[in-house]
Structure 1
Amino acid sequence: MDRYVIGNGFICDGERIFLKDGGILVEGERIKKIGKWEDLKKEDCEKIDVKGRMIIPGILNAHHHSYSSLACGLKTKDISTFPKRLKNLWWKLDSILDKELIYYSTMKSLIDGIKNGTTMVFDHHASMGFIKGSLNIIKDVYKICYIKGVLSFEVSERSKETIKEQIDENISFYFENIKDENIKGLFGLHANFTLSDKTLKRIGELKPEEMGIHIHCGESVIDYDYCKKKGYSGTVHRLQSFNLLNDLSILAHCVHISNRDLKIIEQINPVIVSNPVSNANNRIGCFNFMKIKDYVLGSDGIGSDIIYQFKFRFFQNSQQKDIKDLFFKNMKLTKKKFFPDADDFKEGKKADIVVLDYIPVMDVDEDNIVSHLVFGVQNRNVFITISNGKILFKDGKITFIDEDALFNEIKKITGHLKRKFYA
């Protein structure tokens, strides 16, 4: 069993712990003790001296598409509008994914995430030409990378002939992983506007009541208008009408929602995920963080850097008083829903730890921690990433895989991707 002390840094969880010159004793997968570095370094085990750097809990990416990680550089037709971007890039890409492409895109995505301090990902997958077993391929990569994941397959009628197979992939994966400590399943749905009432009714009847959903909800006005034309009060109301919502549901975006939708959100308390960089890229509008206070951040497939997403949100409204909660409290509460033993810095919890490659010259406290994150920490500025006590990234290197060999394989597989995409 691995046993080590990591410390001589500024330990902070954004709420309870602001410990200067602190240390964490890790035994196996778990935190054994949190205290002063001077005391803990007397332990008879390896010592990792971070020399004053910030130590924070592992980071959650609450809405991601790992399959997008190989798409950078693809030349596409017109993507000037959101529907054209879906049709000519993302839906074309997910229609050609095969076993190799799913595996290597997930691997690249998780490696990038680890380098940015990510220890937990809610992955929303689509591969309309390779459905059955696709989530198990992704799960295998998560296991190799020691990352906790909540996985789902986004059901969509853009592939009507495979609806049953899409539904089965979600439900079978969910039951297979109920007892897994590091992998969970949800029921994935693409969006309201690619799903008929008939299909939603069918899913409502087949999905276990306690199983949450993961869906793009009100991402664009197209989604909202589609629901309104069908007689619903909004995008969330339509999902509730088919008994699809519970507190484990993940509603990504929620840009275009109604007042009734907001009341339903208050009643049910689902996980709301804002994806600010993606929203700006797709030009679909801004998340209303004045009306929805309790939400977390996702990358929506645009990179794997949640600190960057946090900075982007900060600059949209730097005067938001509770923005600290977005990165710490809200993230902790969301982790707790799915992995309650990996939600916080506490003795006995899973050791998910990130050391930022940033040495504060001024002490970190409850009032200034946001300014340290936004103005002090730079992009790709992670020194160490630890998940379940396993050191995954240290001294600029991934520890559990030959990254050079992996990159060579990925370069080969992108040639395969381009041939299929341009065929």
Structure 2
Amino acid sequence: MSSSTRKKTLLVKNAALLVTMDGERREIKHGGLFIEDNLIKQVGPSDTLPQQADVILDMAGKVVIPGLVNTHHHMYQSLTRVVPAAQDGELFNWLTNLYPIWARLTPEMIAVSTQTAMAELILSGCTTSSDHLYIYPNGCKLDDSIHAAAEIGMRFHAARGSMSVGQSQGGLPPDAVVEKEADILKESQRLIEEYHDASHGAMRRIVVAPCSPFSVSRDLMREAAVLARQYGVSLHTHLAENVNDIAYSREKFGMTPAEYAEDLGWVGHDVWHAHCVQLDQHGIELFARTGTGVAHCPCSNMRLASGIAPVRKMRDHGVPVGLGVDGSASNDGASMIGEVRQALLLQRVGFGPRRHDRTRSTGNRHPGRCQGAQPQ
């Protein structure tokens, strides 16, 4: 076999403790991993693994855990942390203060902010991240994020967000930052055809992701779902983030956010929604029945006073739940291991004591299901 076709191998050995987070919650003393072509082939005590590999990492005295998965982010917001005018508002006020700043983004800013966000995530144990980019001023494209991510080397789910309903049509964003819906669908299709990799263990996937019920039309949501399912890619949006979000949905559409999602075809194993802080009992049962995922973002929810998401109830009903740091403008950071801790503490505040290992699994065992991905 030539060197160009030989599979590259990595041996991780001698970990003081290897935490598998598998169905049996195995924790292996002196454990290790054997990896071939970026896929884990064997897990077990170090003396049961192949002893030769292209790269060998001796983890003596260290704990090894699975990489954390970030299911919701807006990486461009790495450039707009701690903006004074946006410090004290809830979601809608916070957004209206920041839209004019984000309207000045450039392609270079998108690239730099993506790499900044990814570096911060990697340093906190994250190995896979999604990014929901929904604003494209001054020639910005999702390609800017994709190329920046490739240089970092993180496994990346690039979500092509969009906004199409501006203030003149009853939406929240300024008209200057919205796009034509035909252009949104055309660009989403181009990105899927050019970049999406559906193979097992793929390092890059494209997600179709209109921003929110208060910034896109129902027609766009329907057409986006049709497009995504035509190509077999996942769907993502914001839903039921706070009480104003609920009020907007009832006033504009005459239904709850969960009913809105169901009506437009936005439920199923290929869909995950960010936040769902105010998801009602019907919504929880709907998501559980259809396998619809939720990205829980506790730091952002606290920062914007959105409430405490009923994560325990979701998990008890079987809703796939993952963790997300959300954008740094509503988090002021992007630590995944910190998000795991905050998720645990916030659920204890809202719903009483909770086992720490169940929260930890939300960070690295369940997110694949949450994002519509097959376990890898």
2:318 paired with 1:297: no
Letter in 1 for 2:209: G
Rounded Cα–Cα distance in structure 1 between residues aligned with 2:53 and 2:71: 38
The residue identity in structure 2 corresponding to 1:208 is: R
* Counterpart in the other structure of 1:8: 14
Match of residue 42 from structure 2: 33
Structure 1 residue 198, shift from structure 2 partner: 4.4
- Give the Cα separation in 2 of the matches to 1:214 and 1:236: 14
* Separation in 1, partners of 2:290, 2:244: 24
**Structure 1 residue 179 and structure 2 residue 202: aligned?**
no
| CA deviation profile, 1:18-50 (whole Å, cap 9, x unmatched) | 110112233442334333234558436654222
Q: Which amino acid is the alignment partner of residue 137 of structure 2?
A: G
1:80 Cα offset (Å)? 2.8
| Residue ranges of structure 2 left out of the alignment (5+ in a row) | 1-6, 166-172
1:140 is aligned to 2:154 = no
Q: Distance in 2 between matches of 1:135 and 1:85?
A: 24
Q: 2:360 aligns with which of 316, 324, 327?
A: 327
2:81 corresponds to? 72
| C-alpha spacing 1:231/1:113, structure 2 compared with 1 (3 Å) | closer
Alignment of 1:14-413 (within 5 A): 14-15=21-22, 16=24, 17-38=26-47, 40=49, 42-43=51-52, 46-72=55-81, 74-76=83-85, 79-89=88-98, 91-130=99-138, 134-156=141-163, 157=165, 158=173, 159-180=177-198, 181-204=202-225, 206-208=227-229, 210-293=232-315, 294=319, 295-301=321-327, 302=331, 303-318=333-348, 319-321=352-354, 323-328=356-361, 331-335=364-368, 340=374, 342=376
CA deviations over 1:200-242 (Å, ceiling 9, x no partner): 3454555535443211101121211111123543102112212
Q: CA RMSD in A?
A: 2.7
Q: Who is 2:170 aligned against?
A: none
Q: Which amino acid aligns with 2:203?
A: N
Is the Cα contact below 8 Å between 1:276 and 1:312 reproduced in 2?
yes
Distance 1:94 1:164 in 2: 23
- Describe the shift of the 1:130–1:241 C-alpha distance in structure 2 as closer, same or farther (beyond 3 A): farther
Shift of 1:256: 1.6
Aligned equivalents of 2:90, 2:53: Cα separation in 1: 60
Q: Distance in 1 between matches of 2:13 and 2:87?
A: 51
- Call closer, same or farther: CA 1:165–1:326 in 2, change over 3 Å: farther
> C-alpha distance in 1, partners of 2:28/2:300?
35
Aligned to 2:3: none
Post-superposition shift, 1:142?
1.9
**More deviation in 194-203 or 114-123?**
194-203
1:72 to 1:290, Cα distance in 2 relative to 1, 3 A: closer
TM-score, with structure 2 as normaliser: 0.81
**Between Structure 1 and Structure 2, how many residues are aligned?**
340
Output the amino acid matched with 1:174.
I
3-state SS of paired residue (2:287): helix
Q: Which amino acid aligns with 1:6?
A: V
Distance 1:213 1:26, change over 3 A: closer
Kindly provide the CA deviation profile for residues 171-195 of structure 1, in whole angstroms up to 9, marking residues without a partner as x. 3222333435221112112211223
The CA deviation at 1:333 is 3.9
| Contact 2:268–2:287 under 8 Å retained in 1 | no
Residue 74 of structure 1 deviates from its aligned partner by: 4.2
Report the residue type matching 1:298 in the other structure: G
Q: SS at the partner of 2:270?
A: coil
> Do the aligned residues in 1 keep the contact of 2:20 with 2:27 (CA within 8 Å)?
yes
Equivalent residue letter for 1:306: M
Identity of matched residues, %: 19
For residues 237 and 141 of structure 1, do their structure 2 counterparts lie closer, same or farther at Cα, with a shift above 3 Å needed? same
Decide which moves more: 261-270 or 160-169: 160-169
